[in-house]
Amino acid sequence: MRLRRFTSLVLTVLLAACSSAPPAADMVAAPAAAISPEAAEAYREARDVDCQAAGGTLQRLGRLQREQCVIPYVDAGKACSRRSDCTGQCLTGAEVAAGSAATGTCQRDVRQNFGCRQRIEDGKAQGTICVD
């Protein structure tokens, strides 16, 4: 009975590793009795392999230091005037008054989602936003 339960847990964790969505908070902070160290390590290794296969690296980001796959965007640094011009966001290089006409560059990767940034949409600078 215990082996069947353990096997089900490992299969569930491995299946979750195939998902592109981040793990649920309760999965990350689950008590040790719910997830064995071996299953947690298998999950992390599977995420790392998938991330590397996509050309990225697992990095701890933001105030919570959650591990995320950081993959460089193919159009990083390209001139843009709206989000649809980019894989990620169209960002200003320097602070511009909100509502002013502006051009930007496509963000390099998800790391630029943290800290302060100013987006460009329809050729106009938006307000600055800061994210931990």
pLDDT digits 0-9 by tens, 85-110: 999 999 998 889 999 999 999 999 99
- pLDDT tier, 123 (very low <50, low <70, confident <90, very high otherwise): very high
The pLDDT tens digits of the residues spanning 30-85 come to: 444 578 999 988 888 999 899 999 999 999 998 899 999 999 999 999 999 999 99
Task: Reply yes or no on whether the pLDDT at 10 is more than 90.
Answer: no
Average pLDDT, stretch 102-130?
A: 94
Upper half-sphere CA count for residue 92 (Cβ side, 13 Å): 23
Task: List all residues 6 or more positions away from 45 whose beta carbon is below 8 Å from its beta carbon.
Answer: none
Bridge partners of 124, per DSSP, are 101, 121
- pLDDT tier, 24 (very low <50, low <70, confident <90, very high otherwise): very low
Per-residue pLDDT at 68: 92
- 80 and 120 in contact (C-beta within 8 Å)? yes
Q: If we measure between CA atoms, which residue out of 34, 120, 48, 41 comes closest to residue 85? A: 120
Task: List all residues 6 or more positions away from 125 whose beta carbon is below 8 Å from its beta carbon.
Answer: 92, 96, 97, 98, 99, 100, 101, 102, 118, 119
Distance CA 125, CA 90 (A): 10
Out of 13-17, 93-97, 115-119, pick the least confident.
13-17
pTM for the predicted model, two decimal places: 0.63
